[in-house]
Amino acid sequence: MKRKQLFILVLLGVLLAGAPPESPAQTAAGSRSSAALNLNDLIEEALKANPDIAAAQKKRDAMWERPPQAKAWDDPRLEFGVRNVPADDADFSKVDMTMKEVSLSQSIPMTGIPSLREKIAIQEAKSADRMHDYARLQVIREVKKTYCDLYLLNRHIETAEKNKGLLAQFVKTAEAKYGVGKAAQQDVLKAQLEQSKFIERLIDLRQQKASAAAQMNRLLGRDPSAPLMGEPALEQKTVALHESELIDTAKTANPALLSLQEVIARNEADYRLARKSYVPELTITGAYGQRENAHRSKTYPAVITGAAGSNPATIQQLDQNTERSDVFSIMMGINVPIWFNSKQNKKVAETHHMIEQAKAEYNALANEISYRIRDLAARQARETQLIELYEHGIIAQAHQSLNGAIAGYQVGTVDFLTLLDSQVTLCNAELQAVQARTQYQKNLAELEAVVGKKLF
């Protein structure tokens, strides 16, 4: 009888020492025992080194190089050539209008067109600015969620290791009782099965932790195999959620919405530019022609008086040089939009449709953001209730159930399997409480990215 009481007291001590209820204070104390992985430091590093953010920044910088280009006139056109050269001998002095010519032409857009082109480029650059902000928010969200995942996985691994050790004690106890004929073989097999399940669980959890660490390294711009120095220490933060205020804030802060506003403004400027395409564009050309002087030889008959019967003589006059002045020309021309029905009209219609498309996308995204905010607020309310339920209800009840099972096992009214089931129930309740607290923080990170403003 004394040996049985001693066994029960030892078993009770193992159970109570091996499965204490986990509280936020205990979690924080445990995290301080090892080096903490600081979340703010990780976010700062990701913002500096993440390649997605770098790509968005370079695109933004490139887009801001466009407005001056868009506003500038087209380059003038310089031409060299010859005109009116005789085809028979290519003599530059033979024909008066043969010349060597150089010309310079410049297209001059009508008033308002360069400024509209510049506005289109500016709106595109502003949209790129907003998408750069969007990329930063997405990286911050992913860093926070991955940090929460690492924290949760560590808690799961700790709990699984603790319960694996506890079940090892159960196996030894069951084998000892089975050896003296005080327990059924089923008790031993059940304890061994539960122990194997925890070993399997640990294998899966360690793989998930390795994957989460690789994901964090990817977000930080590090080598995926680089070690993370320290362990996450999740601070439990709560935020008062007012759905209508969050929705109003998102309309003025969400980068994706703001980017679509810039796209709408860009398309409206493009529409005004399309309407101006009916106005002809002026082209001015100035040309200078250099002509060669003329070289002519002239012969004519002349009668010379003298001896009777003499014949008329031909006298050849010396070459004559005729000086030709150089010439210049100034021309003005316009394009004539005679194909307006298939060109300008279609461009106006196209840009009008693009405006309506951007407005529809804006409304769709605004509706999606409103839905996501309301959905996340509902999820947060659920997690808050679950945390309260687990920490002040289910865990305490599971402890009472386990204590009752121990007491019943002592007097022989509860079998070993029921005792084992009570311990597993307590383990699951503690894990669910940790998961609810972690999910609350992940939802806050998601909500922050949706609203477009830091909440915690």
Task: Look at the chain and report how many structural domains it folds into.
Answer: 1
**Model pLDDT, residue 412:** 67
pTM exceeding 0.85: no
Helix axes 2-18, 395-411, angle to 10 degrees: 170
Taking the chain (456 residues) in runs of 10, the rounded mean pLDDT of each run is: 40 44 43 68 94 95 95 93 87 84 93 93 95 95 94 89 75 67 66 78 91 93 86 80 88 94 96 91 93 69 53 54 86 88 91 96 95 92 89 86 78 72 82 90 92 82
**Model pLDDT, residue 11:** 47
Ramachandran assignment for 240, one of left (phi > 0), alpha (psi -120 to 50 degrees), beta (any other): beta
Angle at 345 between CA 340 and CA 346, to 5 degrees: 115
Q: How many CA atoms lie within 13 A of 305 on its CB side?
A: 0
Instruction: Determine, yes or no, domain membership for 14.
Output: yes
**Model pLDDT, residue 231:** 87
Give the CATH number, domain containing residue 401.
Answer: 1.20.1600.10
Instruction: Determine, yes or no, domain membership for 456.
Output: no
What is the tens place of the pLDDT at every residue in 161-196? 887 777 777 667 666 766 666 656 666 677 777 778
Range of the domain at 443: 2-451
**Which residue, chain included where needed, has tokens 């709990």?**
159
How far out from the chain centre does Cα 30 lie?
A: 36
In 3-state terms, what secondary structure has residue 369? helix
**Cβ neighbours of residue 245 under 8 Å, at least 6 residues apart?**
none
**Model pLDDT, residue 150:** 94
Instruction: Determine, yes or no, domain membership for 227.
Output: yes
**Model pLDDT, residue 449:** 93
Handedness of CA 306, 309, 312, 313 (dihedral sign): negative
Q: Point out which residues pair with 329 in neighbouring strands.
A: 287
What is the tens place of the pLDDT at every residue in 203-228? 999 999 999 999 999 999 998 888 88
**Model pLDDT, residue 184:** 61
**Model pLDDT, residue 305:** 53
What is the tens place of the pLDDT at every residue in 63-92? 999 999 999 999 999 999 998 888 888 888
Say how far apart CA 316 and CA 307 lie, in whole Å. 22
Q: What backbone phi and psi angles, to 5 degrees, belong to 107?
A: -85, 130
Stated as kind and residue range, the H or E segment containing 37 is strand 36-37
Say how far apart CA 193 and CA 172 lie, in whole Å. 13
Instruction: Determine, yes or no, domain membership for 232.
Output: yes
Handedness of CA 13, 19, 21, 22 (dihedral sign): positive
**Model pLDDT, residue 345:** 92
